[in-house]
Structure 1
C-alpha cells in the first residue's frame, strides 16, 4: 500500500483538496441561508443544482477532455469552479447562486473524470482494488475535513468561501506538475437505459432511492441541525461524524455483502434505516445525546444502500456491460439526488425540519416494499457471482469512469466499452433481474 500511495500521492492529494472544498461549501451554504432565514426550499434547490451539474458534467466532460486534453480540461474546470465559489461572495441573489452551484458541480465532475482516468491507466490490474480504496479514503477524508473546518472556524463570513476557493486553486498544482504519462483520450460508454431497467430493476430502484436520501442529507442536514439549536461548530461536528459513518461502514459492509444474499441485505438495511430514522422523524426537537448517535446510525445505513445496489447489479450483468452499468447507476443516483433536496426542502418548509428524517423513513419503506429477495431467480446471474464487494463512493466523489477502477471489471471490457460509445444494445433485454419476463400486452 505504501508503494501505491507513493505512486499516486499527487492525484490523491488533489482529490483530498477538492473534497475539502466541496464538503465545506455544501455545509457553509446551508448554514449561511439558515442564518439569513431563507426557507429550506432554496437550500434544497442549491443542492439539486449541484447534482444537476454533476449529471450533465458526466456528458460534457468527455467532449472537453477529448478536445483539449486532460490537464487543460482539469485546469479550465478548476478555474471555473474557483470563480463560481468566489461568486457566492459577490452577490446574494439566490438565482445567481443556483447557476454558480450548477457550475461547481459540472466542473467538479470533469475534474473527477481526469483524476479517475489517470488512476485507471496507471494502476496495474492486480492493484486496482487498492488504488480504488486509496481514492475512496482520500475522498471521504476530504469531506470529513471540510466539516471540521467549521469546528475550528465557526464564523460564516466570506473567509470560508476564500478557503474553499483556495482548496480548488491548490488542487491544480499536483495535477499540473505531475510527470505521469497522459491518459488516452476518453470515449463515453453506451448507457442502454432500457436494458438495465429491465435487467436490474431492483438495483436501479435502490440507487434512485439512495440518491433521494443522500442528496437530501448533504443539502438539508445542516439546516436541520441549525433548527435543533446547534451552533456552527456543533453542526460541523454533526456533519463530520455522519460522513465518517459512511466511510467506516464500508469494510464491514463488504464482509457481509460477500457472504450473504445481497437482496436480503438491501431490504434489511432499508428496514433498519426506517426504524433508525423514526425517532428523529417524530421528534420536532431532539437533544444532542439523541441526535448525534441516531444521526450517526442513520448515516451508517443510508450510505450502505448504494454500494450494495452496485454489487447486486454487477452479479446480474456480464463483464462487457459493467462500465455502462456504472455510468447508468451514477446518472440514476444523480437524478434522485437532484429531486430529493427539492422534495425534502418543500416538506421542511410546510411541516417542519423533522421532515428530513420523515422523508428518509418514507424512502426506506418504499425499498422494503419494492425489493423482494424471493423474486430473484438468478436467471441472468453471471457465472462468477457473487462478485467481490467493492466499497463504492457516492456521486459526491466519483464520475462514470469510476467503473474502470473496479477490480471486478475486466480491462479488455473497459477498453471495448470506451471505444464503442455508439454501440447498440445486444442480447435479450426482455428479461429482468428477477428472472421474470414481462407480461405480454
Structure 2
C-alpha cells in the first residue's frame, strides 16, 4: 500500500485538489444565488450545464490529448478552468455563468481522462484494485473537504472563488513536474448505443435515475438547506456529512452486492430512498437534528444506486466492451444529471424547497416500478458473473476511462481498446436483462 501511494501520490493529490475546488464551487454558486434570492431554476440550470460540459468533454478530451499530449492537455484545461472560475466574480449575468459552468465541466472531464489513463498505464495488473480504491478515496475526500471549507470560511465573497481557482492552479503542479513517461495516445472507445440498450436496458434505466437524483442533490441540496434557515457553516457541514455518508456506504454495499441479486438491491435501495426522503418532502420546515439524520440517510442510500447499476451492467458485458460501456453509462448519467436539477428546480420554485426531497421520493419510486428483477433472463451473463463488486465513483468525479482501472477488466483488453482502438467482435443483440423470447435450448449453458 505504501509503495502504491508513493508511486501515485502526485496523481492522487491532483485529483484531491480538483475535487476540493469542484465541490466548493457547486455549493458556493448555489448559496450565492440563494443569498441573492434567485430562483432555484437557475441553480438547477447551472448544475445541468456543468454535467453537459462533463459529457461534452468525454468526446473532446480524446482529441485534445491526442494532439498535444497528456501533460499539456492537463495544464491547458487546468488553466482554462481556473480562469472560468474567476470569471464568475467579474459578472453577475447568469447566462454567462451557464457558459462558464459548461467550460468548467468540459475542462474537468479532460483532466479526469489524463489522470485515469495515466493511472491505468502505470498500475500493475495485480495492484489495479488498490490503485482504484485510493483514487476513489481521494476523489470523495476532495468533495467532502470542499464542503467543509465553508465551515471555516462562511463569507460568500470572492475569496471562495479565489480558493477554487487556487485548487485548480495547485492541481497542475504535480502533473506538470512529473518525470514519468507519457501514457500511450488515447482514441475514443467505440460506443454502440443500440447494442447497450438491448443488452443492458434496466442498468441504463437505473443509471439514468441515479443521474436524476445525484445531479439534483449536488445542485440543489445547498439551496434547500439554506432555505431551511441554515447558516453557511451549517450548509457546508450538511453537504459534507451527506457526501461522507455516501462514501462510507460503498464498502458495506460491496459486501451486499456480491451476495444478493443486484437488481433486487437496486429496488430495495430505491424504496429506502423514497422512505428516507419522505419526512423532508412532507414537512416545509424541520428541526436541525431531523434534517441531518434524514438528509444523511437519504444521501447514504442515494449514492448506492449508481455503483449497483454499474456492477449490474458489467455482469452482462464482455471485458473487451467495458470501456465502451462506461462511456455509454457516462452519457446516460449525464443526461439524467442535466435533467434532474432543472425539474427539481422548477418544483422548488413553484411549491417550495421541500419539493427537492419530494422529487427524490418520486424518482426513486419510479425506479422501483421500472427495475424488474424477475425479468432478468441472464442469457448474456458473462462466464464468471456475478462479478465481484467494485465501488465506482459517480460521474461527478470520473471519466469513461475509469473502467480501465477496474481490476475485473483484463489489462491487455483495455490496452487494445484504448491504444489501438480495436473494435470488439460484433455480438448477437437479443435482450438479456429484460423479458424477451424464450431462450434457445442451445444457449442453456450461458443461462
Question: Which bracket does the TM-score occupy, shorter chain normalised?
Answer: over 0.9
SS at match of 1:344: helix
- Give the match for residue 129 of structure 1: 129
Contact 1:212 1:341 in 2 (8 A): yes
Cross-structure match for 2:443: none
Find the counterpart in structure 2 of residue 269 from structure 1: 269
**Contact 1:189–1:420 (8 Å) recurs in 2:** no
> Could you tell me which residue of structure 2 aligns to residue 119 of structure 1?
119
Distance 1:403 1:165 in 2: 29
- The CA deviation at 1:432 is 3.0
What is the alpha-carbon distance in structure 1 between the residues aligned to residue 11 and residue 59 of structure 2? 22
1:96 aligns with 2:96: yes
Deviation at 1:191, TM superposition (A): 1.1
Matches within 5 A, 1:394-433: 394-419=394-419, 421=421, 423=423, 426-433=426-433
Q: Please name the residue that 1:151 is paired with.
A: 151
CA drift at 1:421? 4.5
Aligned counterpart, 2:234:
234
Q: Deviations over 1:169-221 (max 9, x none)?
A: 01110000011111000011111111111111110000000000000000000
- Work out the CA distance in 2 between the residues paired with 1:425 and 1:341: 38
Aligned equivalents of 1:425 and 1:365: distance in 2?
Answer: 38
Pairwise CA distance, 1:434: 2.7
Q: Determine the C-alpha separation between the residues in 2 that align with 1:222 and 1:3.
A: 39
TM-fit CA distance, 1:417: 2.2
Residue 62 of structure 2: aligned partner = 62
Is the 2:185–2:419 contact (alpha carbons within 8 Å) kept by the matching residues of 1? no
Q: Once the two structures are superposed, what CA deviation does each residue of 1:140-182 show, in whole Å capped at 9, x if it has no partner?
A: 0000000000000100000000010000001110000011111
User: Which residue of structure 1 aligns with residue 251 of structure 2?
Assistant: 251
Q: Distance in 2 between matches of 1:250 and 1:330?
A: 19
How far apart are 1:435 and its partner, in Å? 5.7
Superimposed CA distance per residue, residues 330-383 of structure 1 (whole angstroms, 9 cap, x where no aligned partner): 111111101110111011101111111011001111111111111112111111
Distance 1:185 1:381 in 2: 32
**Residues 83-141 of structure 1: per-residue CA shift (max 9 Å, x gap):** 00000000000001001111000000000000000000000001111000000000000
- In the alignment, the residues of structure 2 paired with residue 432 and residue 355 of structure 1 have an alpha-carbon distance, to the nearest angstrom, of 36
Q: Which 5+ residue runs of structure 1 have no aligned equivalent? A: none
Contact preservation (8 Å) 2:212, 2:337: yes
CA distance in 2, matches of 1:248, 1:437: 41
Q: Which residue matches 2:86?
A: 86
1:24 lines up with 2:47 in the alignment: no
CA separation in 2, counterparts of 1:391 and 1:180? 28
Does the alignment pair 1:296 with 2:296?
yes
Moved more, 35-44 or 425-434: 425-434
Q: How does 1:179-190 map to 2 (within 5 A)?
A: 179-190=179-190
Deviations 1:227-284 (A, max 9, x none): 1000000000000000001110000000110111111111111111111111111111
Q: Give per-residue Cα distances to partners, 1:271-325, cap 9 Å, x unaligned.
A: 1111111111111111111000111100110100000001111111111111111
Q: Is the 8 A contact 1:20 1:146 kept in 2?
A: yes
Partner residue in 2 for 1:382: 382
Contact kept in structure 1, 2:151 and 2:233, CA below 8 Å? yes
C-alpha deviation, 1:28, in angstroms = 0.2
**Is residue 88–residue 97 contact of structure 1 (8 Å, CA) maintained in 2?**
yes
CA distance in 2, matches of 1:437, 1:175: 52
- Structure 1 CA distance, aligned partners of 2:369 and 2:412? 38
Between 59-68 and 278-287, the greater mean CA deviation after superposition: 278-287
- Equivalent residues of 2:321, 2:424 under 8 A apart: no
**Alpha-carbon distance in 2 for matches of 1:257, 1:47:** 30
Q: How many residues are paired up?
A: 438
1:177 matched to which residue of 2?
A: 177
Q: Please list every run of 5 or more consecutive structure 2 residues that lacks an aligned counterpart in the other structure.
A: 439-447
Cα RMSD between the aligned structures? Answer: 1.2
SS of match in other structure, 1:396: coil
TM-score (norm 2): 0.96
CA–CA distance in 1 between the matches of 2:269 and 2:425? 33
- Confirm or deny: 8 A CA contact 1:78 1:172 kept in the other structure: yes
Separation (CA, whole Å) in 1 of partners of 2:81 and 2:297: 33
Indicate the SS of the match to 2:396: helix
- Structure 1 stretches of 4+ with a deviation exceeding 6 A read none
Give the C-alpha shift of residue 433 in structure 1: 1.5
For normalisation by structure 1, the TM-score amounts to 0.98
